[in-house]
């Protein structure tokens, strides 16, 4: 069997050129990182969705640099080959380019990720340039950018009007020029994602953006059926892990109460 090679930004670019789809899933801990890496995932995103699916916040707004770094460190300890991206949390890159650079640097120095992701287009161009110029790969994120939920007034589809779709296409071209190595396209019409994918050289990674993107990303806890609170249309559940876990917990509780566990074989 051939040894898997470490994925780099060059590998990702080659995959786009060859038409080979790029796979990405989110991850927040060591154990799942080892499983994703063993399964052969190309990219792992320590997303700020950490806020919702692990830390129990209502949105991604409250999650902090320290919380993100803590989980990035756990994930990188479990990864051998996948390319790991750390998501810059809300207000870690918006106040000034200097602060953005310092925080992006912390992701690489303290948590050993290979790149950072930040949300936005035109308004973050200078920030992207500064971080990339310092030697830190940046992944862009356009369309539904959850850190701006209060400006959008919700988590609805983006890019459905002519004005908005033109802004997203122009933003994609601008952030490519500023130096991003890939762009996440979230919850936009498939036709718009196809147009963007064909008009930029860097890979596009879609989530709710149809099948024509160069790759796909989902929140692991959504696709595993581990996070049950809500399920966007774009999520495919590959299992109902939460149901299995709840059954295990109930069985354990029942067996301890009934004194069926521990049995002789579990005792010394």
Whether residue 255 lies in the annotated active site: no
Show contacts with ligand KIV in window 180-209 (CB under 6 A): 184, 186, 207
- Dist. CA 27–CA 72, nearest whole Å: 9
Residue whose CB is less far from ligand KIV, 125 or 223: 223
What would the x/- binding string for ligand KIV be over residues 17 to 36, using CB under 6 A? Answer: ---------x----------
Q: Kindly state the smallest distance separating residue 49's Cβ from ligand KIV, in Å.
A: 3
**Considering only 47-55, 129-137, 159-167, 233-241, which stretch makes contact with ligand KIV by CB under 6 A?**
47-55
SS3 of the chain: CCCCCCCCHHHHHHHHHHCCCEEEEECCCHHHHHHHHHHCCCEEEECCCHHHHCCCCCCCCCCCHHHHHHHHHHHHHCCCCCEEEEECCCCCCCCCHHHHHHHHHHHHHHHCCCEEECCCCHHHHHHHHHHHHCCCCEEEEEECCHHHHHHHCCCCCCCCCHHHHHHHHHHHHHHHHHCCCEEEEECCCHHHHHHHHHHCCCCEEEECCCCCCCEEEECHHHHCCCCCCCCCCCCCCCCCHHHHHHHHHHHHHHHHHCCCCCCHHHCC
What would the x/- binding string for ligand KIV be over residues 207 to 226, using CB under 6 A? Answer: x---------x-x-------
Q: Which of 15, 25, 28, 48 binds ligand KIV (CB under 6 A)?
A: 48
DSSP conformational letter for 265: G
Asked if 67 interacts with ligand KIV (CB under 6 A), we say no
Residue whose CB is less far from ligand KIV, 47 or 189: 47
Residue whose CB is less far from ligand KIV, 46 or 256: 46
Show contacts with ligand KIV in window 68-87 (CB under 6 A): 87
Residue whose CB is less far from ligand KIV, 86 or 179: 86
**Considering only 1-9, 40-48, 97-105, 245-253, which stretch makes contact with ligand KIV by CB under 6 A?**
40-48
Residue numbers of the site for ligand KIV (CB under 6 A)? 26, 45, 47-49, 87, 184, 186, 207, 217, 219
Catalytic residue set: 186
């Amino acid at each position: 069997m051939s040894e898997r090679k470490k994925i780099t930004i060059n590998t990702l670019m080659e995959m786009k050129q060859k038409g080979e789809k790029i796979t990405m899933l989110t991850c927040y801990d060591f154990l799942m990182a080892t499983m994703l890496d063993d399964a052969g995932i190309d990219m792992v995103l320590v997303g700020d969705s950490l806020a919702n699916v692990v830390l129990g916040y209502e949105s991604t707004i409250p999650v902090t640099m320290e919380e993100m770094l803590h989980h990035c460190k756990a994930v990188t300890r479990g990864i051998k080959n996948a390319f790991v991206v750390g998501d810059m949390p809300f207000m870690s890159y918006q106040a000034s380019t200097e602060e953005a650079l310092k925080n992006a640097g912390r992701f690489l120095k303290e948590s050993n990720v290979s790149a950072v992701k930040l949300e936005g287009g035109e308004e973050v161009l200078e920030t992207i340039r500064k971080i990339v110029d310092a030697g830190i790969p940046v992944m862009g994120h356009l369309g539904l950018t959850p850190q701006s939920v209060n400006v959008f007034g919700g988590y609805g589809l983006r890019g459905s009007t002519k004005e908005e779709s033109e802004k997203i296409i122009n933003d994609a071209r601008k952030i490519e020029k500023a130096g991003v190595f890939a762009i996440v396209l979230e919850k936009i019409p498939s036709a718009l994602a196809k147009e963007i994918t064909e008009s930029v050289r860097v890979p596009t990674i879609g989530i709710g953006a149809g099948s024509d993107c160069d790759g796909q990303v989902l929140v692991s806890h959504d696709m595993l059926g581990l996070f049950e609170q809500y399920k966007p249309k774009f999520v495919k559940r590959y299992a109902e892990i939460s149901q299995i876990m709840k059954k295990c917990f109930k069985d354990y509780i029942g067996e301890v109460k009934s004194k069926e566990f521990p049995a002789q074989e579990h005792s010394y």
